[in-house]
Amino acid sequence: MTSIRILAALFISVLVVAPALAQDRRVPSSAAELRLSYAPIVQRVQPAVVNVYAAKVVQNRNPLLDDPIFRRFFGVPGDQPEQMQRSLGSGVMVDPSGLVVTNVHVIEGADQVKVSLSDKREFEAEIVLKDTRSDLAVLRLKDTHEKFPTLDFANSDELMVGDVVLAIGNPFGVGQTVTHGIISALARTQVGITDYQFFIQTDAAINPGNSGGALVDMTGKLAGINTAIFSRSGGSQGIGFAIPANMVRVVVASAKSGGKAVKRPWLGARLQAVTPEIAETLGIKLPNGALVASVAPNSPAARAGLKLSDLIIAIDGQPVEDPNAFDYRFATRPIGGTSEVDVQRAGKTVKLTVPLETAPDTGRSEIVLTSRSPFQGAKVANISPAVADELHLDADTEGVVVTDLADGGTAADLGFQKGDIIVAVNNQKIAKTADLEKATRESNRVWRITLVRGGQQINVTLGG
């Protein structure tokens, strides 16, 4: 019986060698190398994990107020009832001065944000930077005069499937909680949560409230930020996703430098996935890599010599499985240097050097449309190279595109989507945002709108 207990303990134990590097993975050779508790790691990292509380005031607006006949006969009530909406998530202290990283969806639209530390102290926080493309936000604690405990970043490219990890956060608002598991998969690219689809998958229990919390490795470093779960019931079913630390590092660095937006390299080429049919046409065994579908003139891709139908198979020595994998790895490269890209061209491997520079953003002219029209509440912009890069449009696309939609706005209610390209309104061509703004100021009973969505032209008639 004793031997059975010892054998069981061996199976449920984990090897923790704090000074060892991540790549020193081996089977323990003696009982002395086995540790039966994660407590030393938890005690070291727990103070750097915080709870994030966000609140916003919303009006309970009666839908009858949108009816002009109702408004004419009954007027508009002066005081509309207000309600406080609250959301709960987690965060990680990444700088001793009080910088906290969390998810954008935790604090989206908040009028007030508070951060609660592991010692129960609460601080008001301001939003320093929001990066919706990665779903990461950086907060700064207000009125602080001390140094806070932080977590160092792991190199998430060194993680391996099977590595033990801990998830720390505030699930369901019950208080700070630690769960453990392993890395179930790496480079998950078909999740559809953010623009950069490249996630760490783990079976460590993650539940609502864990968003923005820490996924840490066995050296106590931040491996990723927990951001989503796959669940049919709303609870943990052993499939959780975390944003890799290397992407988090880029966003935090932008916040520290005082930037209001994250600056990332621009390739200037549109990539597409390799299907089995395309692989057969190209004469390759496996449908891996990112196929170049178009190259913008004078872009970094063009200057590097990238050509139509080139197949990108690696960047800086790291394999590229699909376009999402390339986008993530390219986006984590520092501005100002170069990256070496391996491509297959006519059966041969060619190495190209791509300069790492930001996309030109001149002439964006982004505005929010407020006039009474089907576009009320839509934020639109001229399509600069930067806008095309952000919205995954062809680099040579021209016109006016929807970049955001206000909740409860007419445009959102009518079903307009981010990325819609407005081509014409009432037979008037829309070439720039000023054209669309002018069109929305006209009084029309019927609106005929032509837009492009996902490459398909759509004609819409409203009113009448």
* Assigned CATH class of 35-61+80-261: mainly beta
Instruction: Calculate mean pLDDT across residues 84-90.
Output: 70
pLDDT at 237: 58
Q: Annotation-wise, does 394 bind a ligand?
A: no
pLDDT at 34 over 90: no
Considering the chain, what is the average pLDDT of its residues? 80
Residue 385 and residue 348 in contact, taking contact as beta carbons nearer than 8 Å: no
Q: Annotation-wise, does 210 bind a ligand?
A: yes
Q: Annotation-wise, does 268 bind a ligand?
A: no
Using one digit for the tens of pLDDT, what is the confidence trace for 245-280?
988 998 998 898 887 788 889 898 888 888 888 888
Q: Which residues contact 443 (CB under 8 A, 6 or more apart)?
A: none
Asked: is 269-355 a CATH 2.30.42.10 domain? The reply is yes
pTM: 0.73
What token pair was written down for 273? 């996935």
Q: Which of 162-176, 288-302, 348-362 has the lowest mean pLDDT?
A: 162-176
pLDDT at 92: 93
pLDDT at 183: 85
CATH number of 367-463: 2.30.42.10
pLDDT at 62: 52
Q: Annotation-wise, does 209 bind a ligand?
A: yes
**pLDDT above 90: percentage of residues in the chain:** 24
Residue 354 and residue 338 in contact, taking contact as beta carbons nearer than 8 Å: yes
Instruction: Calculate mean pLDDT across residues 8-37.
Output: 50
Q: What is the DSSP string of 195-245?
A: SS--EEEE-S---TT-TT-EEE-TTS-EEEEEEEE--SSSS--S-EEEEEH
Q: Which of 57-61, 150-154, 322-326, 431-435 has the lowest mean pLDDT?
A: 57-61
Active site residues: 105, 135, 211
Degrees (nearest 5) of the Cα angle 338, 342, 346? 140
Q: Annotation-wise, does 98 bind a ligand?
A: no
Beta bridge partners of 55: 86, 112
Residues of the chain within CATH 2.30.42.10 domain(s) are 269-355, 367-463
Using one digit for the tens of pLDDT, what is the confidence trace for 366-415?
899 988 888 999 999 998 888 888 887 876 777 899 998 888 888 888 88
